[in-house]
Amino acid sequence: MALGWIVYSAIFRPIEKVASDSEPVIETLRIRKHLIEDAPGEVMALTKPNLRERAREGAVFVGLAVLGFLISSKAISVASGTMLAVGIAITAVALNTFPLLMHEGMHGTLLPRRRWNWIVSVLLGSVFLMSFSAYRVLHIRHHRYLGDPRDPDDYHNYSRSRLVVWSLHFVRLAVGPLLYLAMIPVLALKYGSAIQRKLICCEYAILLLVYAALLRAFTLRTLLVVWIAPLLLVGLFTAIRGFTQHGITDATDPYLASRTMLPHPLIAFFLLNENYHLEHHLFPEVPSYHLHALHQLIWPKIPRAVSGKSYLAFLARFFRATPHMDETPIGLVHPGEQRRV
């Protein structure tokens, strides 16, 4: 009983006191009103949780991760390089969804109950060495201050030099996820409230216990092969995806500050519809599995946006713009007029 009260006082009571941050920022309220004025009920319906859909996602991606672990473990025992490569690739594809699912937790859309939303999000974060609450402090700050000097993800807030900003883009693509692992807890402790800082410290203590248990259960070599190696690929995927979301856009224009990508439906599935990033920023309370429907509903009414169909094509256009450091938004479109400029 005493242990239960200690856990409740240290963790669950702070969770209940942390306010929901999935409400839109003031700057987007006018835009939202315009986009949904013809169908407010349809958009409201898209905010409702679907536990069956979330369970299906969990079953698919956790199942893939387990399959990848098993294949990699078997490859180690039989010394098969090909099998090991397949196992690492499958694991990486599966684990790539874990940060995306934790991102849902940041907006309270992973699970409807706040306590379970936190528990599952912390477990997801432990897979890639990150405190959920630490990441949440910075991510919500990014949402709230998008296009503002306080946005931590806008490199123009760190330097007015175009050369420095462009260099930071390449740093992000090369080692961004590793830098985030180091800097997010530092910045989160700086910007977080007293309750949030308490949760962050509790979560990192939990992560240390989890990692200590893993080191006792498995050899370091096994963990490096079946876990850390796939995470390096996840880091590459995350760097490209994160850069595409806001890279070479116009942060001062809410329509042009976030990029919507329209890749093959299979890719969108493995990205948990994170490719609909403009839609997400405008309606962060809509769960990821409803973002495609939201896109179809509001896209024809959006006057301007930045978009594309291929992540590799976006990178190619970025590299072509690099010699002149041309910051013209890549992929400018006018959905309502059905034309590209």
* Residue 224 belongs to some domain of the structure: yes
Question: Look-up: residue for tokens 């910075």?
Answer: 138
Alpha-carbon distances, residue 262 vs 259, 266, 273, 299 (angstroms): 10, 11, 10, 12
* Residue 6 belongs to some domain of the structure: no
* Residue 4 belongs to some domain of the structure: no
Contact of 121 with 105, CB cutoff 8 Å: yes
Q: To which H or E segment does residue 40 belong?
A: helix 40-46
Q: To which H or E segment does residue 232 belong?
A: helix 229-246
* Residue 9 belongs to some domain of the structure: no
Q: What is the phi/psi pair of residue 333, to 5°?
A: -135, 160
332 beta partners: 306
Contact of 72 with 249, CB cutoff 8 Å: no
Token couple for 24? 């839109």
* Residue 332 belongs to some domain of the structure: yes
Supply the pLDDT for residue 296.
96
* Residue 305 belongs to some domain of the structure: yes
- For each of the chain's 341 residues, which pLDDT tens digit applies? 444 444 444 444 444 444 445 554 556 778 888 898 888 889 999 999 999 999 999 999 999 999 999 999 999 999 899 999 999 999 999 999 999 999 999 999 999 999 999 999 999 999 999 999 999 999 999 998 888 888 888 999 899 999 999 999 999 999 999 999 999 999 999 999 999 999 999 999 999 999 999 999 999 999 999 999 999 999 999 999 999 999 999 998 999 999 999 999 999 999 999 999 999 999 999 999 999 999 999 999 999 999 999 999 999 999 999 999 999 999 999 997 754 44
Greatest Cα-to-Cα distance within the chain, rounded to the nearest angstrom: 65
Task: Indicate the number of domains in the chain.
Answer: 1
* Residue 38 belongs to some domain of the structure: yes
* Residue 181 belongs to some domain of the structure: yes
Closest CA to 94 of 119, 71, 74, 78: 71
Supply the pLDDT for residue 39.
81
Cα dihedral sign, 268-272-277-280:
positive
Angle 89-93-95 (CA atoms, 0-180°, nearest 5)? 110
Expressed as residue numbers, the domain containing 77 is 17-340
Supply the pLDDT for residue 37.
87
